[in-house]
Structure 1
Amino acid sequence: MYKNSKMAKSIRLALMFGGASLAMSGTAAAQAQSDDEQAEEAQERITVTGSRIKRTDYESSSPVQITSSEEIKASGFTRIEDLMNSLPQVEAAQTSYIANGASGVATLDLRGIGTNRTLVLMNGRRLQPGGVYSQAPDVNQVPAALVERVEVLTGGGSATYGADAVSGVVNFVMKDDFQGVELNVGASGYQHNNNNEYIQGLMDDRNFDYPNGGSGISGKSYNIDLTMGGTFAGGKGHATAYATWRQINEMRQETRDYSSCALNAAGTACGGSSTAPLPNTYFAPIVNGEYDFDQEVFWSLNPDGSFSPYDGSNVYNYAPVNHFMRPDTRYTMGAFVNYDVSDSFRPYMEVSYMHDRTAAQIAESGTFYAYNVLTIDNPLFSDAQRQQFRDQFGPDVDEIGTYIGKRNVEGGPRMNNLEHNAFRIVAGAEGYINANWSYDVSFQYGSTSSSTAYVNDFYLPYVSQALGAEGADACGDGCTPYEVFTPGGVTGAAADALGGVAIMTGTTSQRIVNAYLTGEMDATFPTSDLPVAAVIGVESREIDFERIADTIYQEGALAGQGGPTNSLAGGYNVKEIFSELSVPVAEGRDGIDSMTVDFGLRFSDYSSSGKETTYKVALDYNITADWKLRASYNRAVRAPNVAELFAVTSIGLWGGTDPCAGDTPELSAAQCANTGVSASQYGNIDANPASQYNGIFGGNVNLDPEVADTYTVGVVAAPTDNLNFTVDYWAIDIEDVIGTVGASNTLRQCAITGQAQYCDNVNRAPSGSLWRGNEGYVVATNVNVGEETYRGVDLNANYIMEDVLGGTITARMNGSYYLEKYADSTGQDCAGLVNSVCFPQPDWRHSLTMTYSSDSFWTAQAKWRYFGDVGYDEEVDNLLIADGGIKAQSYLDIVTTFDLNENTSLLFGVNNILDKEPPMVGGSISTNANTIAGFYDTLGRYIHANVTFRF
């Protein structure tokens, strides 16, 4: 259709440089082909992401962003989530930069609409859910070296692929037609110059240690990727096999000055935890069997063994031993095989296996203010301490209630060892029924087994026993008293004896049977000579999930867990019928080079939520051979997953601030009274120095499915031989959103509005606290929280200049502008805004890549990644208040490739070559280490190199 047009030349340009907003698949982009051969192949029928109809052009009626294998390699990333998070259309979700709360998996969040609303495919077929803590696919099972390209479809794809495609689709197209043998060996690491005077000054004020000057190269990683492929059976069959290994070393927060202490919520001082090596303890007498809050004191243990009122200075800097980047070891292997028995029967198979092991290290355990009652004659108290109690509470005091904040520095850090094993197999056959119709029938099975072993955390029954607490077993033979009130009294052996291990295993499985027919009908529209194309098919999916937690997890008996973690088991199945229709309306007329209207329809019957219908309509209008308009509407549906439905309600932790805590609360006494704060408590409730509070979380079997309407309108143009661009407006409206109002938001809305729908979910402890013990908490279980609205514009452009200094210069721009990001549950438009409920998605974000390809043996590339500024509208984080939010961030990457000979190439690159630090935020906003980890460049300069051998 576009063989001799500017659009065809633009296709060649896009193929050379990764594509802008085009869509390719199947055999249409073989690496070894010349540009002219690829343009010729544009006439062949191919399958475009977002549809199962085979087309003869590369553009689709829905915008598809493509990242090529060359771009993947140039990025230097071996973790596919790092590559995806560098795209302007993706927000950071679970990454290797998360320690406290790490799930061990890597997930994708397209548009910031949620990982559960981003459908992830491999070769057009679903990946199974990921692990014990995650219902989203784990992209660790996608080896970066084997990815031919990544196609990101904006807007709902439920009519084509079923549920979950609310924000769009990410399709990893693999190298399944590889010829020969390729060995890729790589290494990388991070380097940074520690010279942040601001935080170094704060640490000097606390006498904290921190690194200074050049860091050397840390966080080193190594990878080996082997790919083999070739034909067999006289060319009828083809097989591609691969095996990869990747090792990433840990980085702790102590390796960077800007993360060597935990900032307080305001970002004005090194905070830390009041659970300290010398304990801070709440004491009160037991009167008539009850803890007397009216007489409560908060005392610190002094080096001389006496107690004094807590003045805020006795805190523990828990940051240095926390992981900034987790260690990780991954193996993958797999194969893609097809065999042409005949044109009518071509069986194929895909098989893959992944083993991944990571460990999330966080600061030492502690007593974390667990409640215990001790008699005044307990041998842990000295005579001088007993006298202090009698002086404070009266001579007749007999029992003392305690909330002890003692850090287990004697026993070392906690560790969560996470392991995942993923297996996936696809077996099927395709072929032609006749000249116009073909079929595809497949069976897919995917399973992920995962486990977590949480080690070196305090086992609370042992602690109570070693304290000699009332109601606990006596500390007899084999029990070492826990000398918490004697400075230096706790030995390493005594601390080790209090440790416990919690173990949890999980298995998720996905079974899919899919069959469809696609072809052209013997029918045309009156104004067109081209036939109507159609798809009709059926699909059956079954998802099962089981998580088994041991007794320690289920009882929440480890001190640092924040509450119980329960077992979970459940599943659902769905049976579907789907169809598509592509109707050429006209071509070759004045003002209409070609016009096609596409329709899609899917009927789904869920065992969990009943019957649902999704549909789509799309317009593909080529005004001329070089200018196109496209528009689409999709109705998408997402049924609740197993965890959202069946998770047992339990207590856990949420990060943020209590606006009614501290000496000078953020909110007024009247507002705080709405949350349960009494007049005497106002101004006397302690804030948690670690910005962590209790919440009740869990599932809801009465959830309704989410329903979304998605719209796209765009222009695809090739105004010159050397330039093409696309501009697309997109809008996504979601109803019956599945989620939580959010503990932080619930608390604030209760205070501000006083409405029962919020205040009924705030339960303060008798002291007014939301973090001491488990008596105070905010309920944040799953509900249908209302509506969400998302709006934005994507811009992509490619430009080429030939015969420049004996080579070719290509330029590519990929940008995204967020217009609206509104949720009923928060009442806020989070586009370009950061606060306690808004992720800092800038209004505008882009990458601009310039590549010079010489006519000899080398290529050089420079990339500018830009994050626009983000506003801040709260009164907590003084760092953000001073800067007006997060300032715009720019990063510069360079990479050079050398083809040493026909068989060997070398690549060397540096990302963030100027070593720009991530923007620092206070404890109420930070996701890890005083920053938005994994979104902005987190660790400084990234240096990478690899050598590739081809045979």
Structure 2
Amino acid sequence: PFGENAVSAECLSYIGRTSRTVTTVDQSVIEGTLQGKAFDLPAGEVLVALGVQYRENGYQYASDPSLARINPRTPHLGADGLPDGGTIGGVEIAGFNAADSVNGRVNNIDLFGEALIPVLSNLPFISSLDLTLGYRYSDYSSIGGTTAYRADIDWEIVNGLRVRGGFNRAVRAPSIGELYSPASVNFPAIGDASLKAPGGDPCDVGGFYRNGADKDKVKALCLAQGLATTVIDTYTFENDQTNGWSGGNIDLEEETADTWSLGLVYQSQFQSPWLGRLSASIDYYSIEIENVIDSISISDALNGCFNGTGENPTYDAANSYCQQFSRDPNNGNIIDAIENLDNLGVLKTSGVDLQVDWGIDLVDVGGPDWGTIGVNAVVGWLGSREDSVVAGGALLDRKGTISDDFGNTFPEWKSLVSVNWANGPFSATARWRRVGEMTIFGSEDTLEATHYFDLSGSWAVNDVVSLRGGVNNLLDQEPRTWDPGIQANTDPSTYDILGRRYFVGLTAKF
């Protein structure tokens, strides 16, 4: 723990450097609203809300001079040939990436209104029919004027049965961080070359592209990018990472989303002990987002450049994907991957959500007077999940897949079921979480469905003190793992990587 040899004070003074960075974010908001009854219609009161809002956001990142960049195109390389940190005047700060100071400020003023309009009521099969209309105009200092609007219906067919749905145009302006985050050094993963699936440098002779149906076109593109003829037939890229740059973009535009939804809601009106408190809802949704704010990862850039899904059928070195990286003229290795934010392509998704709630009193169904039992079940079915990296590009179907990019996990089925028991000051809950089967994106390998079980309970000792405890991941289910060719072998945003764990807690009110 203290090193192989003692380090003298003089040595520590020579190699040590104290660096400091400061990030400051501030926000100011002024808002005024007016709401209430506007007038009466035969079906009821028309309710209106109007408002105006001014919002200002400030962002400042003060980088220590020792971490500022010398040259954004030539990061320092370590002995292993990989970038190893920021440099200034020949001084290296190990473990930190170079980034310049930056600051920016944006503001916007919004005008908005919403109205609840009762259209019909007290008619056969129309207990009530309400229409909600909303509109918002926003003027941003960064992107100019935008509009958002919505129209929703709420139709109660009979008591306990209703239909809901509508259309919503949503707009998201780029955040101040997305606009002004400084361009900084990063070391994105590209994976390892493999014959089974894309990964690593496509020019690697042991990789998927150099051994595929278009291997001659791939070879020609590699030569056009700068690989020497003397190494092209033996070229390998030994690392699973490269160096690059990522940051914000002051030229970003807004994202625009169109959402359609339609659902049915039921709440039991029957007086039956076994039906108890029963309610259910089922909703269909369809969402399409344009001008998605994201960055083209180096993996996507390499796959696009080498026509992984049809983005560069002529294998042209001038293709936009091929411009996202460069090659070292000395050895042909990938360098300077550009992963700055931009307005990219389209994201489309649709699916169905189902929720059922049921509860009974045990004594009402002939059982002992031991309190109540409740069940809650939520099931999500993903009907589609497609995206294109760039506008007009090929749509990639990601339904039922998991990828090396953490968070890009889209099981076709997900569910959560809870069973609750309560009796006076005591309660207990058993929960079942299920993540459906998925295919590893870009391959035929499959990860089985994963099940997690949790137990918890609580005891209200009195009006002041309550105790709680439980165990998560009761069966100690390990995360699904695979070889994605990057630094991790699972997705911690999807799978439980901690295993079985216990918790206890006490709450006291004073």
TM (norm. structure 2) is 0.81
Candidates 306, 324, 327, aligned match of 1:764: 327
Give yes or no for contact 2:114–2:132 (8 Å, CA) kept in 1. Answer: yes
Give distance in 2, aligned partners of 1:562 and 1:947.
41
Query: Shift of the alpha carbon at 1:893?
Result: 0.3
Give distance in 2, aligned partners of 1:536 and 1:847.
39
Aligned pairs (5 A) from 1:407-426:
none
Aligned pairs (5 A) from 1:867-882:
867-874=435-442
Query: Shift of the alpha carbon at 1:503?
Result: 2.0
Query: Shift of the alpha carbon at 1:566?
Result: 1.8
Q: Deviations over 1:308-350 (max 9, x none)?
A: xxxxxxxxxxxxxxxxxxxxxxxxxxxxxxxxxxxxxxxxxxx
- Answer yes or no: is 1:898 the counterpart of 2:459: yes
Query: Shift of the alpha carbon at 1:495?
Result: 8.0
**Cα gap change, 1:734 to 1:857, in 2 (>3 Å):** closer
SS at match of 2:501: strand
Give distance in 2, aligned partners of 1:576 and 1:715.
33
Give yes or no for contact 1:834–1:885 (8 Å, CA) kept in 2. Answer: no
**Cα gap change, 1:801 to 1:673, in 2 (>3 Å):** farther
Give distance in 2, aligned partners of 1:751 and 1:561.
33
Give yes or no for contact 1:660–1:682 (8 Å, CA) kept in 2. Answer: no
- Answer yes or no: is 1:518 the counterpart of 2:32: no
Candidates 540, 543, 555, aligned match of 2:54: 540
Give distance in 1, aligned partners of 2:458 and 2:155.
40
Candidates 644, 651, 660, aligned match of 2:178: 644
The residue aligned with 1:707 is 256
Give distance in 1, aligned partners of 2:412 and 2:236.
38
Q: Deviations over 1:839-889 (max 9, x none)?
A: 2231211110001123x54222100011111112435xxxxx6xx332211
Aligned pairs (5 A) from 1:790-809:
790-803=349-362, 804-805=367-368, 806-809=370-373
Give yes or no for contact 1:893–1:911 (8 Å, CA) kept in 2. Answer: yes
Candidates 346, 368, 383, aligned match of 1:819: 383
Structure 1 portions without partners, runs of 5+: 1-408, 412-487, 771-775, 876-880
The answer to which structure has the higher helix fraction is 1
**Cα gap change, 1:682 to 1:782, in 2 (>3 Å):** farther
Query: Shift of the alpha carbon at 1:642?
Result: 2.3
- Answer yes or no: is 1:917 the counterpart of 2:478: yes
Aligned pairs (5 A) from 1:164-203:
none
Amino acid at match of 2:156: N
Aligned pairs (5 A) from 1:61-460:
none
Amino acid at match of 1:915: D
Give yes or no for contact 1:681–1:767 (8 Å, CA) kept in 2. Answer: no
Give distance in 2, aligned partners of 1:925 and 1:717.
47
- Answer yes or no: is 1:862 the counterpart of 2:430: yes
- Answer yes or no: is 1:908 the counterpart of 2:457: no
Give distance in 2, aligned partners of 1:750 and 1:663.
17
Query: Shift of the alpha carbon at 1:582?
Result: 0.8
The residue aligned with 1:215 is none
**Cα gap change, 1:499 to 1:807, in 2 (>3 Å):** same
Give yes or no for contact 1:508–1:545 (8 Å, CA) kept in 2. Answer: yes
Q: Deviations over 1:489-526 (max 9, x none)?
A: x86559855344432101101111111111112231x5
The residue aligned with 1:151 is none
Give distance in 2, aligned partners of 1:551 and 1:673.
43
Amino acid at match of 1:664: G
Candidates 569, 576, 579, aligned match of 2:110: 576
The residue aligned with 1:666 is 208
The residue aligned with 1:941 is 500
Query: Shift of the alpha carbon at 1:565?
Result: 1.3
Query: Shift of the alpha carbon at 1:410?
Result: 7.9
Give distance in 1, aligned partners of 2:495 and 2:331.
39
Query: Shift of the alpha carbon at 1:533?
Result: 0.7
Candidates 224, 242, 265, aligned match of 1:693: 242
Give yes or no for contact 1:507–1:546 (8 Å, CA) kept in 2. Answer: yes
The residue aligned with 1:616 is 150
Give distance in 2, aligned partners of 1:546 and 1:672.
46
The residue aligned with 1:60 is none
- Answer yes or no: is 1:725 the counterpart of 2:280: yes
TM (norm. structure 1) is 0.45
Query: Shift of the alpha carbon at 1:603?
Result: 1.1
Aligned pairs (5 A) from 1:40-59:
none
Give distance in 2, aligned partners of 1:566 and 1:695.
15
**Cα gap change, 1:900 to 1:642, in 2 (>3 Å):** closer
SS at match of 1:917: coil
Amino acid at match of 2:55: R
Candidates 565, 585, 588, aligned match of 2:119: 585
The residue aligned with 1:830 is 398
Amino acid at match of 1:522: F
**Cα gap change, 1:574 to 1:802, in 2 (>3 Å):** same
Query: Shift of the alpha carbon at 1:907?
Result: 1.3
Give distance in 1, aligned partners of 2:203 and 2:11.
32
SS at match of 1:687: coil
SS at match of 1:643: helix
More contact order relative to length (CA 8 Å, sep ≥ 6): 1
Candidates 133, 147, 151, aligned match of 1:599: 133
**Cα gap change, 1:559 to 1:673, in 2 (>3 Å):** farther
The residue aligned with 1:810 is 374
Query: Shift of the alpha carbon at 1:937?
Result: 1.2
Amino acid at match of 1:738: I
